[in-house]
Structure 1
Amino acid sequence: MVKIVKLILYKLRNGEYFQFMSDFKSLLEALGPQAIHSEAEFADFDTALVKLDDELRVDKGSVLTEELQNIDNDRDKVWRAIDMRIDATLLCTITEEVEAAKRLRRVFDLYGDVRRISYNEETAALSNLLGDLEQEENNAFLATCGLGEWVNRLNSLNVAFKAKQNERDTELANKNSGNAKAVRIEIDPLYELMVERVNAMVSLNMQTPEIENFVKELNQKIETLENTLASREGRRNSNEEELPAAEVN
């Protein structure tokens, strides 16, 4: 007898949670809530899921998100401009400038292409990179390559990005006030009750071929989520283990 496997709902991020519950709803609609004697519970579940969708749309709809993206685009452009200026200087035949560019290239390469990582990681990487570039021994190299103003511009944009990100997070926190979490608390017991009814029917050998297929498809979606959670937990543990070494650098 194959039953619906347990999924630890609280570990899911809001987006993952909403997608899973939407998939559950679609599967149950295809089966028919009456097949598991859950018409009333499904109606309440559907209403709560609409509420959760509304709450999550608030997160996505912040006007500040577009402003944040624009600042990020600007800082990416300045980073790229500095990167290209160093490469161009390495090609010139003025020994002093080439040597200065070599020194700056070594510093730059320590952080890789910061445009390809997450917002928080990029902000932190740029803060560290700028800290290195602004050390006294690099001031002359920046001046030689004509990069002083560009580095100052990158620093200003990085500071502005962090400030705008904090502003957006505060706005969303005040706007949402934990409502998505509150709606999830409404949904969880309704989901668990319907799952319990399906599993009870399986235990009593009352399942139909349609219910068996419902269980199979839902378990496949749960397995996919479990793999996602396991992968995320593995990365988190790996980062914790590597943290001391990163701090030394």
Structure 2
Amino acid sequence: MKKINILVTPGPKLSNVDFYQFITSQANHIKSLGDTMLTDAELRNLVITILSFAEDFNKAILQVQKNLKSDDIATKNQVRDISISALKSWVKNATYSTDEAELRAANGLTTLLDTYGDIARMSLDKESGTIDKLVAEFEGPTYKPMVEKIGLSARLARLKADNNAFKALYEGRRAESITKDSAKAISLRRQVNEQYQILSSYVLLRAKMTDDAQYAEALQIINTIRKEYNELVARHKAALKAAEEKKKAEEKQKEEEQKKTKKS
């Protein structure tokens, strides 16, 4: 038996959407080898079965996403987007003040807002977290005096309330979705993964036992796509680590600024 290796699958570490693409990419590439090369009826059937299960799985995860994009959620999101715009407009108007203290405060707040980018264009989850972070900074010792100086407190409170209202509705809907549709998606993902493991094991075994090109080609496809997605997982892990380190550095800087403020 030949010594042939298969790369470790990144499947368990992938999101539902990435997992679906990971599976269907391999199955479709193997299928595209054509009937002339794929003479093994068992291999063809395994590929067809996986694609069928994968489509059912995709429908389930799309249903979960649809439940989280209902009209009432969209309305709540629009409300908080308006609050963001109102807050930014108030700060911008303050940059035209003839009062030097107000002008300094407005410029300081503008600089901070610029670091957050276009919050309203972020994904729903990311927007919620970003607004929470922004509000926390505005309410912190560094920026609170600036907020009060230009009379921004009411609009900040409005944004905080609108974001909390959105999160309450969104998280409640998410919980309902997890209870119903997500349970179905989890079950289907498990079935897809079981079929994928059968396919991978079958291809590896046949590639080791024979010199038939269809198995060598199929194994090459599996390894190539596994390598691609393993690299994706590694990049994501590195990005999370960098974000965590950045967060710790910012928290440390805030603590130092607070200490300086207390001393002064």
TM-score (normalizing by structure 1) = 0.79
Number of residues of Structure 1 aligned to a counterpart in Structure 2 = 242
CA contact (8 A) 1:68 1:161 kept: yes
Structure 1 equivalent of residue 242 of structure 2? 238
Inter-partner Cα distance in structure 2 for 1:78 and 1:243: 26
- What pairs up with 1:9-158 in 2 under 5 angstroms? 9-31=11-33, 32=35, 35=40, 37-62=42-67, 64-92=69-97, 94-95=98-99, 98-110=100-112, 112-114=115-117, 115=119, 118-132=126-140, 137-138=145-146, 140-143=148-151, 147-158=152-163
Q: Deviations over 1:187-243 (max 9, x none)?
A: 2222122112222222224221x4444333333322221111001111223334444
CA contact (8 A) 1:86 1:101 kept: no
Q: Deviations over 1:153-206 (max 9, x none)?
A: 322221222212212211211222532222222122221221122222222242
Indicate the percent of aligned positions where both proteins have the same amino acid: 15
- Greater mean alpha carbon deviation, residues 36-45 or residues 198-207: 36-45
SS at 1:178's partner residue? helix
Q: Deviations over 1:50-83 (max 9, x none)?
A: 3212211211211644543443344334323432
CA contact (8 A) 1:78 1:154 kept: yes
1:127 alignment partner AA: V
Inter-partner Cα distance in structure 2 for 1:136 and 1:29: 61
Inter-partner Cα distance in structure 2 for 1:165 and 1:49: 27
Inter-partner Cα distance in structure 2 for 1:182 and 1:63: 20
Inter-partner Cα distance in structure 2 for 1:180 and 1:4: 27
Inter-partner Cα distance in structure 1 for 2:44 and 2:148: 74
**Distance of aligned partners of 1:177 and 1:72 in 2 relative to their CA distance in 1, 3 Å threshold:** closer
Give ranges in structure 1 of 5+ residues lacking alignment: none
**Distance of aligned partners of 1:48 and 1:182 in 2 relative to their CA distance in 1, 3 Å threshold:** same
SS at 1:91's partner residue? coil
Structure 2 equivalent of residue 198 of structure 1? 203
Inter-partner Cα distance in structure 1 for 2:188 and 2:58: 10
CA contact (8 A) 1:3 1:215 kept: no
Structure 1 equivalent of residue 224 of structure 2? 220
**Distance of aligned partners of 1:193 and 1:233 in 2 relative to their CA distance in 1, 3 Å threshold:** same
2:132 alignment partner AA: A
Tell me how large the CA RMSD over aligned residues is. 3.1
